[in-house]
Amino acid sequence: MKQCSVCGQFKELSKSNFYPSLREHDGFHHTCRTCSVDKFKNKEQKRDNAYFSAQGNIQLARKEKKEENLLNYINGLKKCSRCEEVKPLSNFYKNSKTSDKLTSWCKCCTKERHLAYQRDNVVKEQNDNRGTDH
Ligand SMILES: [Zn+2]
Ligand SMILES: [Zn+2]
């Protein structure tokens, strides 16, 4: 007799109850045939489920984002990808390179970046001048 490590049942040690295994000292698997098959099926199932749910989530997330964007667009709104605020389309600069012909950042964010860029350049210029003073 051999006890199955999964269901705990004692079964006659034979090939009809246990799969042969070279790794086990008695030459048979420590789980009975029924449990071995179940375990294998569960493993496959789990892997498939994980795969499909991950795929589904990505697709769902993509779909939701698309729908959200579309809905905003119909309402004359757009979500700024920087501050993530939904603002009227008039708050976005025109940009012929994008699919909706508008910048992905709102005017505020674009301005902010522009100012930051200018500020950086001014600082850089000042540094440059300081450098030439010597
Ligand atoms: Zn079993
Ligand atoms: Zn913004």
Span 37-59, average pLDDT: 86
Tokens of 114: 């522009």
Per residue in 107-125, pLDDT tens?
A: 999 999 989 888 888 877 7
Return the ligand number nearest the Cα of 84. 2
10 pLDDT above the threshold of 90 = yes
Q: What span, in angstroms and rounded, lies between the C-alpha atoms of 96 and 103?
A: 9
Return the ligand number nearest the Cα of 107. 2
Whether residue 31 contacts residue 5, with contact meaning beta carbons closer than 8 Å, is answered with: yes
Per residue in 53-88, pLDDT tens?
A: 888 888 888 898 888 888 888 899 999 999 999 999
Cα-to-centroid distance, 76 and ligand 1 (Å): 63
